[in-house]
Amino acid sequence: MQKFDPATAIQRINSCDASRGVNPAISDSATFTFPEARLMTDTFHGETEGYFLYSRHWNPSNMALCQALAAMEGTEAAWVTGSGLAAITCALLHEVKSGDHIISSMTTYGGTFAFMANYLTKFGVETTFVNFQDLDAVRKAVAEHPNTKVLYTETMNNPLLRIANVPELSTIAHSIGAKLIVDNTFTPMIFSPYRLGADVVVYSMTKFINGKNDCVAGAICGSGDYINSLIDVNNGTCMLLGPVLDPMRSSSILKNLHTLHIRMQKHGENAMYLAKRFKEVGFKYNYPGLPEHPDYALFNSMMNPGYGYGGMISIDMGTAEAANRIMEIMQQKGVGYLAVSLGYFTTLFSNSGKSTSSEVPEDIQKEMGMSEGLIRFSMGLDNDIEATFQLIKESVDECRK
Ligand SMILES: *Cc1c(COP(=O)(O)O)cnc(C)c1O
């Protein structure tokens, strides 16, 4: 595969508009005027360029962000939503009707799991959850369900940080005419799933992409025809369910997107440093950037060079009690915040089983290999990471006393 650099692609797109501001003017309008009535009719039918109709469909600020996201992903187009879950649920709903089937990785974001396991079933859409590390199991599930329309996975999953083999999964999906939808929330820039064979890439921009924890937002990236079908006025899932992102937010997220490559490098550098130090002191750690991780080779085969191995790292403290105590001490010492979510400039940590994966039933948590004492860190942009390591070490020692 030819070398692809998402950061360069975004920079090339950095749009300047008629205002001559270095940032695109914020388009703070729900509706737009037309100089001629005929143009309004043509725009309704998707037959004009450069005209906007109504902001639930398109808005110039949203379009500027979408062009930058598409450049980053290597897709033709993108569309932005009011949350990551809105992007995921719309992308899924758009592919299925009653009687259809989804095959999903057993390990997905809790809300995604709940949507497929508890909600889509109301409409006669069943999901089979499979261990996606086992490609033969995926092939078997596909063979058993010829009505499968979607294979769904996260590139890097939560909280075990396993990596999905996107090229192989894409081959399996396409062999039966199904689509591969990939949630790349944990690894923007590091992986470009569309370029690896996925049909649709979804994001919670709430996390790394925005990186400021000041809003909830999502994105759907794919081919131009696909994005147009999502916002078709007659049967587009996004147009009809209406989860569009507010243009004021699009404008602020676009400015943050331009520093994403530097942030990803620093998050990854800090997590890698900690992984090595955790290894030295004998903590039970999990990080996909070291050769001990079962998907290290796969990671290397799929990654865009130069952005590191991601900002997520976990340690296993054995019991939920120990994990909780250590997290409280770490917060007191200023390591970061005891909070869910990720991709923030300050380190965030949580006990996965009791928080972000609590929608996943305990038996499945066990089958995934999740320990109840897991502490998941989203490493911040700390300048002195050795000092952070010392504080974590002190917190663990204090708990063990
Ligand atoms: C947070 C998250 C979501 C949901 O996104 P929201 O912006 O909270 O709606 C989906 N997938 C992953 C991997 C996430 O981390």
pLDDT of 324 reads 96
pLDDT confidence of 348, banded at 50, 70, 90?
very high
Helices 6-13 and 260-280 pack at an angle, to 10 degrees, of 160
DSSP 208-248: TTT-SSS---EEEEE-HHHHHHHT-TTT-HHHHH--BPPHH
- Is residue 390 scored above 90 in pLDDT? yes
Q: In angstroms, rounded to a whole number, what is the distance separating the alpha carbons of residues 353 and 365?
A: 7
Tell me what the mean pLDDT of segment 248-270 comes to: 97
Asked if residues 62 and 80 have their Cβ atoms less than 8 Å apart, the reply is yes
pLDDT of 361 reads 73
Q: In angstroms, rounded to a whole number, what is the distance separating the alpha carbons of residues 314 and 290?
A: 13
Q: Which domains does the chain have, with CATH numbers?
A: 6-257 (3.40.640.10), 260-400 (3.90.1150.10)
- Ligand 1 pocket check for 188: Cβ under 6 Å: no
Q: In angstroms, rounded to a whole number, what is the distance separating the alpha carbons of residues 274 and 255?
A: 29
Tell me what the mean pLDDT of segment 21-37 comes to: 92
Tell me what the mean pLDDT of segment 121-142 comes to: 97
Nearest-CA residue for atom 7 of ligand 1:
84
pLDDT confidence of 6, banded at 50, 70, 90?
confident
- Ligand 1 pocket check for 218: Cβ under 6 Å: yes
Helix, strand, or coil (residue 2): coil
Among 219, 208, 221, 216, residue whose Cα is nearest residue 262: 208
pLDDT of 19 reads 61
The reported pTM is 0.95
- Ligand 1 pocket check for 149: Cβ under 6 Å: no
Distance 109 CA to ligand 1 centre (A): 7
- Is residue 133 scored above 70 in pLDDT? yes
Q: In angstroms, rounded to a whole number, what is the distance separating the alpha carbons of residues 13 and 64?
A: 9
Q: In angstroms, rounded to a whole number, what is the distance separating the alpha carbons of residues 65 and 26?
A: 11
Among 375, 300, 269, 274, residue whose Cα is nearest residue 331: 375
pLDDT of 105 reads 97
pLDDT tens figures, 186-234: 999 999 999 999 999 999 999 999 999 999 999 999 999 999 999 998 9
In the chain, the amino acid numbered 100 is D
Distance 186 CA to ligand 1 centre (A): 9
Tell me what the mean pLDDT of segment 284-307 comes to: 97
- Ligand 1 pocket check for 82: Cβ under 6 Å: no
